[in-house]
Structure 1
Amino acid sequence: MSNVKDLLGHELEPYSMAVEKEKIKELAIAIGDDNPITEGWETKAFTVSALTGEGVSHIWKVIQKYKQVTSRNGFFGKRRKRTND
């Protein structure tokens, strides 16, 4: 078992890429998105802390870049339309 704990002292499960990918698939199905892959965008993971603010400005830049790239290739609009239908 992991020795890493959250702020409330609960033990956190060890990170597993396979488990995380499965969680993403489950979430995508739950929200009706049968294709969680974003055209023209390579998904990456970043460390961000709401507690300390570390990484927040970087992740905001990444979010802005994502919107720019996916707006340019039409993916953002297609996904937005599908969400609103």
Structure 2
Amino acid sequence: DDLSLIAVQGPKAKEKAATLFTDAQRQAVEGMKPFFGVQAGDLFIATTGYTGEAGYEIALPNEQAVDFWRGLLDAGVKPCGLG
């Protein structure tokens, strides 16, 4: 009830998501292999996607989710539904 999950997948997903990370968060995920995750500040950032594309699944406090999502949109991420 306290967390939201945002998945960012695609050829430029990591690059675009990293624009919203702090320096410490960028360092924490640098070189992270598939099926790993790390707590970095308020974010839990994982590479556990099932789409076959590079990307992150980001768990974050609900109160930060809307601003984070808007930041992704501003970075050029295009929304799509995953089922």
Tell me the TM-score normalised to structure 1 length. 0.32
**Larger fraction in strand:** 2
Higher relative CO (Cα under 8 Å, sequence separation at least 6) belongs to 2
Indicate the structure (1 or 2) with the bigger Cα radius of gyration. 1
More helix as a share of residues = 1
